[in-house]
Amino acid sequence: MEIKNIKTLGQLKAAGYKSISIKDELRNNLREKIKSAKPVFEGVHGFENTVIPELERAILSRHNINLLGLRGQAKTRLARKMIELLDEYIPFVTGSEINDDPFNPISRFAKDLIAEKGDETPISWLYKSERFFEKLATPDVTVADLIGDVDPIKAANLKLSYADDRVIHFGMIPRANRCIFVINELPDLQARIQVALFNILQEGDIQIRGFKLRMPLDMQFIFTANPEDYTNRGSIVTPLKDRIGSQILTHYPESVAIARTITEQEAKLDENQADIVYVPGLARDILEQISFEARESEYIDNKSGVSARMSITAFENLISTAERRALISGVDKTTLRLSDFIGIIPAITGKVELVYEGEQEGAAVVAQNLIGSAIKTLFSDFFPKIEKLEKPGEKTPYSDLIEWFFAESGFELLDEASDSEYQNILDEVTPLDILVKKYQSQLDKKDQYFMKEFILWALVEHKKLSKDRFATGHQFKDMYGSYISKL
C-alpha cells in the first residue's frame, strides 16, 4: 500500500511504519546521499570544501545550527536546501495544529483523539516542502508570536476557563513541530525573546502563560546572523549561543570564476535578452571583479560586506543597458560594450555601505572608481604590464597608440551609437587593432571590439590616456592634450 493511501492509525501500524526524530531523519538521509556520492546542496557554489563539509558534520551530529556570515553569503539558501534531506512524506494526526506524530502525540487534542478512536484515528500526510518555517527576527517579534499565548476569543467561544489548556493559541515554533525552523538575523531578536528559546533548544519543551506544559517538540533549528549585528544592532545572548550545537562561518566566492557561476545562475533575464545581447567573457569577469574590488575598497565599510546580490543586479542592469541601446538603434542583436558599464552604477550605489571618506567622494564616483579598478586589475592578464615609471624616449607596446591620440586629438564614443558607428570609430585607431592581433591572436571575432575598448579604459586607469564623461558618452584624449585644454 502506498503511504498516501494509509488513512488510519491502524493501517499505519500494519504497514510497519516507524517514526524517528527530524534530526535522525536528516542524518539518515544525509548518510545515504554521501554514500551514493549524490550532491547535497545543489546550486550553492564555492562552499564545497569549506562550509558544506562543516554543515554536513553538524547534521550528522544532530546539532541546531547557526550560520554566521555577511550579507549575501547564501545563508538562507543553505537552510532552504536542507528540505531536500527530509523524507518525502511524514504522517500526522489529522486536525492537529502541531503535526502530532501518531505514535508519539504531544498535544491534548491528539492524545484525546487517539484515546477515543484508537486504531481508527484519522491520519494525514505532510509533504517535505510544507515542513519548512522561516521567521525574520525583527524588534517587534513577541513571545506570543513565536511560542504562543492564551486566546480569549477561543475561551469565550468554547466557554472554557483560562485555567484550561485548550484556550492556548500556539505560536510559530510549536506549529513547526517535526519541521525545520529558521530564524533569520537572530541578533535582531530582543534579548528577552531569545531567553524564551532556552528551554526549547535544550529540553525541547515550551512554557505558555504559566501553563505547566510538557511538550517535547521535535525540531531542527537553523539560525542566521551577521557578525556586524553583534556590535551594531544587537547580540546573541551567551546562554543561547551555548545551546546552539554548531556555528558555521560562511564567506564570499573566492574566485571570479565561482562568482560568475553564481551570477549566471541567479540573474533573472528575459529570454529575449539572451538572444539580443551577446556578452563577451571578459565583460562577465570585469563585472565580478568589481565586487572583489569593492570588498577591498577603502571607501566601503568591509564590516557590512558586499553582497553577491550586487553582481546579480549589476549584470541585469548591464544587459538591460545594451538591450535599450539595441531598441533605440532598431537592431535585433548587439554586442555588449565596456561603455555600457555606466548602466550598472545604480546597482552598485544601492548595495554598498560607504565609510566617511566614501560619503565625501560620493556613491556614484566610488562606483565609477570600482569599475576602473576592476579593469586595471584584469588588464595584465591579457596584455603586457604598464609600468608606472618609464625611461624618457623608451618604446613600449603602447607607445604607438598613445602617439596616435596625440596626433589625432582623440575621439568620442556615444552611449547610443549604432554598432556600425561604434565599430568604425574603433577601427580608425589602427594601433588598437595591432595590439589585439599581437597579444590576443586567438580572440573570437565577436569579442574584438570589446577588447579594443578595454585597452582604452585600462590606459586611462594607468594615466596614459584621458577619459572624460559627458551627458551622452565618453571622450578619449591623450593626457598632454587634455592638460593643455584645461589651462
Instruction: Give the residues across from 149 on adjacent strands.
Output: 169
Q: Tell me how crowded residue 217 is: count the other CB atoms within 10 A of its CB.
A: 22
Q: What is the 3-state secondary structure (H, E, C) of 95-164?
A: CCCCCCECCECCCHHHHHHHHHHHHHCEEEEEEHHHHEEEEECCCCCCHHHHCEEECHHHHHHHCCCCCC
Exposure of 25 in the CB half-sphere (CA atoms within 13 A): 22
Are residues 101 and 19 in contact, defined by beta-carbon separation less than 8 angstroms? yes
Nearest-CA neighbor of 189 among 180, 179, 198? Answer: 198
CATH class of segment(s) 252-381: mainly alpha
What averages of pLDDT result for each successive group of 10 residues across the chain (487 residues)? 82 92 96 93 93 97 94 92 95 93 91 93 95 90 81 65 66 92 91 85 70 80 81 74 93 94 91 90 97 95 88 96 94 94 94 92 94 96 84 82 88 92 94 94 93 96 92 88 49
The three-point CA angle 181-183-185 to 5° equals 160
Are residues 176 and 133 in contact, defined by beta-carbon separation less than 8 angstroms? yes
Helix H or strand E encompassing 474: strand 473-478
- What is the rounded CA–CA span in Å between residue 466 and residue 480? 9
Q: What is the CA radius of gyration of the chain?
A: 30
Residue with grid cell 598613445, as numbered in its chain: 402
- Supply the pLDDT for residue 292: 96
- Supply the pLDDT for residue 345: 95
The structure's pTM equals 0.86
- What is the rounded CA–CA span in Å between residue 16 and residue 421? 75
Helix H or strand E encompassing 433: helix 430-439
- Supply the pLDDT for residue 234: 65
- Supply the pLDDT for residue 229: 53
- For domain 3-249, which CATH number applies: 3.40.640.10, 3.40.50.150, 2.30.22.10, 3.40.50.300? 3.40.50.300
